[in-house]
Structure 1
Amino acid sequence: MVMTDPVSDMLARIRNANMVNHQQVSLPYSKLKESILEIMKNEGYIKNYRVETENNKSTINVLLKYSELGDPVIKGLKKVSKPGRRQYVKSKNLSPVLGGLGTGIVSTSHGLKTVKDCINEKIGGEYLCQIW
């Protein structure tokens, strides 16, 4: 099966694993996914992730994060830019996700950045996804 949108697949896998309270989820590796996961880790949405290579195939194991009550930290994931309709934004057109309670991820010429960073540094790019 040919995957047309690996980022959307990653978000769907994380969303599904979260709904059934899995502790971790495995994803096929790509640098883009690793960069998104690094932002999610820094923003406190996941515990950690690990890249594992076996027989020249790399996978990423994501350790999901839950509150003390067992509720998932990630309440929602939304893909903004889709293969059929890319969403490019200028820094002046960006606004904080859920009034600053969520995080947006933008692919810029300086690598992946959060919406907050893009607004501060006045750079735009392709708006990949939102997490809250």
Structure 2
Amino acid sequence: MAVVDPVADMLTRIRNAYGAHHNDLVVPCSKMKTSIAGILKEEGYIADYAVEDRDISITLKYADGKPLVTGLKRVSKPGRRVYVGASDIPRVQNGIGICIVSTSMGVLEGAKAKEANVGGELLCEIW
């Protein structure tokens, strides 16, 4: 059975793995999901990721036994795309979280997209 929304599937797998206190998980590979994993590592939400054949292996990160990711929200969906301009990129949880935007410069974290003055499709929010 084909997955209709691969990014939402990845976010759900991460949410479920944190909820079950797993140390790592595997998701099917794509360029967008690899970019999202890179942003999550760069921002400190996951410990590491590695691309192996057709899968991405993600190592989760905990602080004092509690997950660093407390919430994941898919904003733009296949049935309803959400586009934002550079000035309309939202602050997530009053600056505590991040948003991920697919721009013409690639997949960027919201603050970096705003800094580069580019907008695009608002993929998800993470806090």
The normalised TM-score by structure 2 is 0.97
Runs (4 or more) in structure 1 with deviation over 4 Å come to none
Larger Rg: 1
**Alpha carbon RMSD of aligned pairs, Å?**
0.7
Q: Tell me the CA shift for residue 80 of structure 1.
A: 0.4
Structure 2 Cα separation of the partners of residues 39 and 98 of structure 1: 18
The one of 98, 101, 104 aligned to 2:99: 104
The superposition leaves residues 39-81 of structure 1 with CA deviations (integer Å, 9 ceiling, x where unpaired) of: 000000000011112xxxx1111000000x2000011110000
Secondary structure (helix, strand or coil) at the match of 1:63 reads strand
Q: Tell me the CA shift for residue 90 of structure 1.
A: 0.5
Paired residues of 2:83 and 2:120 also in contact (CA < 8 A): yes
Structure 2 equivalent of residue 19 of structure 1: 19
What amino acid does structure 2 have at the position aligned with 1:6?
A: P
Structure 2 equivalent of residue 85 of structure 1: 80
What amino acid does structure 1 have at the position aligned with 2:46?
A: I
Runs of 5+ unmatched residues, structure 2: none
- Tell me the matched-pair count: 127
Structure 1 equivalent of residue 58 of structure 2: 62
What amino acid does structure 2 have at the position aligned with 1:95?
A: P
Structure 1 Cα separation of the partners of residues 11 and 88 of structure 2: 24
Runs of 5+ unmatched residues, structure 1: none
